[in-house]
């Protein structure tokens, strides 16, 4: 089942897969645009999964919650934890 929602007031609509089990948050689907952006990012962060998170955050206007300072090198909003 696919659902659409806005994560941030005034932000873009994020298309997510809504799990059938209630109480579990929706999953952000990796789109082709996310993969393309991740491949174009500079290698400030060596972990390809983290670069994918950066690409998704940039495209979908999301915030990354992290204590990893390597994300500071990218044009992405972070929330320290």
Give the total number of structural domains in the chain.
1
Determine the pLDDT at residue 22. Answer: 61
Q: Give CA–CA dist 32/62, Å, rounded.
A: 17
Structure confidence at residue 26 (pLDDT) = 73
Q: Whole domain around residue 44: which residue ranges?
A: 2-80
- The residue written with tokens 């929706």 in the block is 26
Q: Which two tokens stand for residue 4?
A: 């659409």
Residues 6+ apart with CB under 8 A from 31: 59
pLDDT at 12: 47
Residue 3: strand pairing partners:
16
Print pLDDT tens along the chain (81 aa). 334 444 444 444 444 445 555 666 678 899 999 999 999 999 998 899 999 999 999 999 999 999 999 999 999 999 998
| C-alpha–C-alpha distance, residues 2 and 17, integer Å | 5
Angle at 28 between CA 26 and CA 35, to 5 degrees: 170
Which pLDDT does position 23 carry in this prediction?
65
The pTM for the full model equals 0.69
């Amino acid at each position: 089942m696919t659902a659409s929602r806005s994560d941030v007031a005034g932000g873009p609509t994020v298309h997510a897969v809504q799990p059938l089990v209630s109480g579990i948050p929706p999953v952000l689907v990796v789109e082709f645009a996310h993969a393309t952006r991740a491949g174009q990012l500079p290698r400030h962060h060596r972990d390809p999964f983290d670069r994918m998170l950066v690409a998704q955050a940039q495209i979908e206007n999301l915030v990354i919650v992290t204590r990893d300072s390597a994300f500071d090198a990218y044009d992405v909003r972070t929330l320290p934890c």
